[in-house]
Structure 1
Amino acid sequence: MRRLLLAATAVAALAACSSMHSAAPAASAEPVRVYAAGSLREALTNIAQDYEARTGQKVALTFGASGLLRGRIEQGEPAQVFASADTDHPQRLAAAGGWQAPVVFTRNQLCALTSDRVNATPDSLLATLLDPQVRVGTSTPKADPSGDYAWQLFRRADSVRPGAFATLDAKALKLTGGPDSPPAPAGRGTYAWLMDEGRADVFLTYCTNAVAAQKEVPRLKVVQLPDNLRVGADYGLGVRQGAPAAAVRFAQSLREPAAQKVLQGLGFGAPG
């Protein structure tokens, strides 16, 4: 009787194990095709590597300015997941049909990255930006949400100091994020390279980009925006309608604890 009970227990355990394995989704032979904002490069590269190791599912990552990526998708490129630095670009895909409405999966903030020749604090930042001798670098509006967020800052500045918008709109240097913007040399971060080259005295970019640039070029400084100029960025995640189950699973994983730990470890905010 004892041997019969042990055998029955073993059979039940094997059946449970078999059931668990059959329930686990199989990895697709085709990679999940993810188009993502350039500011997500380090985070999503790390997340995808971990995801591949855990699931066996390959992930193909394409990075760039969100507006330019949206244009490429509209022209027929086969993205299955779109991780944008705003919600507007994935929402435009959804409005045109063929994509699900985006959900916010992480957040960011705008910061000022300054050269070591600029002595700016949050309280003096607006005066620094308006100084005729200070060159202000931005990304390219409409092509890259980082540029759109910079122009939001300019509009906020106008409510603090009338006329500031016109001054900043005229002087801002659109140094990256556009269709003709030169890429950084291999192994260099875009913002560290541009500041190292002396292309701007202050660069308005995401705080995560600014911190990464300072790690690469320690003499650079990161200045937080004052409350009256603060601009936040909600990152939107869209999935193509009819995308393979593997793509849906990867998109879902970006809101789960493992991915969120990577994002927040690099300075991104929780989706809320």
Structure 2
Amino acid sequence: MRVLAAGSLKTVWPALMAHFPEPVDTRFGPAGLLREQIEAGEPCDLFASASEAHPQKLLAARQALAIMSFATNKLCITVRSDRLQAGDDWYQLLTRDSLRIATSTPAADPSGDYAQILFTRMGHVGEVVRKRAIPLVGGRDSAAIPAGRLAAEWIIHTDQADLFIGYASYRAALSQIAGLTVIDIPEAVNPVARYACAVITPEAGRLATFLRSEQAKAVLREAGFGCDF
């Protein structure tokens, strides 16, 4: 079975597939770009996306048989620790003009789309933040993240930005890296990332059903994802 899956699933996917009884060949990438590849004819049995919008487009174009939600995520901020000031919270960090903000690439990578929603929810101040934010990963022409590195860690430690807005499922791993601090974003403004899979071939229905199972939910929760779909 051939799967195209969102890059944010890469760390949890082996643990999930360890409980699935069939061999699965998986390639990871930004969900928006993967969807375009499927539309262009890339062979695929199941597409696991970090946004419901991309599977829905395939379903509307009759390139998918069904779509199923299977996980949720949210955003957090990873900041270079020595840029923090006493009492800093998410809002102060994003609105401090001296800090360089990085995100994933909107349209190509859902993480970038969710960051745009965050800026909108911040109101007029968010429009200023939006203009300052630089999409550094997840785009067609973005530099590749080195193997074994997390986007936030790589961007900050190579001095491309002072903070990165990305998925909270990476929180535990990022919190263990020296020189980085992870800051939560309140639920009132934090968009919910809803993961969904597009069933492209009938055989993929078994994998889609597994991703919604209690066993899969336990693995996803352990990895920092939500299952309130």
Same fold per TM (> 0.5)? Answer: yes
Distance (whole Å) between structure 1 residues aligned to residue 112 and residue 61 of structure 2: 24
2:174 matches 1:213: yes
Residue 111 of structure 1 and its aligned partner are, at CA, apart by: 0.7
What's the TM-score once normalised by structure 2's chain length? 0.93
Contact 2:174–2:182 (8 Å) recurs in 1: no
Distance (whole Å) between structure 2 residues aligned to residue 95 and residue 228 of structure 1: 31
The unaligned stretches of length 5 or more in structure 2 are: none
Amino acid at match of 1:148: D
Q: Return the structure number with greater relative CO, CA threshold 8 A, min gap 6.
A: 2
Matches within 5 A, 1:27-46: 32-46=1-15
Higher gyration radius (CA): 1
Distance (whole Å) between structure 1 residues aligned to residue 105 and residue 89 of structure 2: 25
Distance (whole Å) between structure 2 residues aligned to residue 48 and residue 91 of structure 1: 24
Matches within 5 A, 1:242-257: 243-245=201-203, 247-257=204-214
Distance (whole Å) between structure 1 residues aligned to residue 170 and residue 89 of structure 2: 21
Residue of structure 2 equivalent to 1:71: 36
What's the TM-score once normalised by structure 1's chain length? 0.79
Amino acid at match of 1:225: I
Residues 78-103 of structure 1, C-alpha deviations (whole Å, 9 max, x = no match): 11111100100000010111203422
Secondary structure of 1:148's counterpart equals: helix
Residue of structure 2 equivalent to 1:114: 79
Residue of structure 2 equivalent to 1:238: 198
Q: How many residues align?
A: 229
Distance (whole Å) between structure 2 residues aligned to residue 121 and residue 95 of structure 1: 50
Distance (whole Å) between structure 2 residues aligned to residue 211 and residue 122 of structure 1: 22
More helix by share: 1
The unaligned stretches of length 5 or more in structure 1 are: 1-31
2:112 matches 1:142: no
Residue 123 of structure 1 and its aligned partner are, at CA, apart by: 7.1
Residue 122 of structure 1 and its aligned partner are, at CA, apart by: 9.2
Matches within 5 A, 1:1-272: 32-51=1-20, 55=21, 57-119=22-84, 124-158=89-123, 162=124, 164-215=125-176, 217-240=177-200, 243-245=201-203, 247-272=204-229
Secondary structure of 2:172's counterpart equals: helix
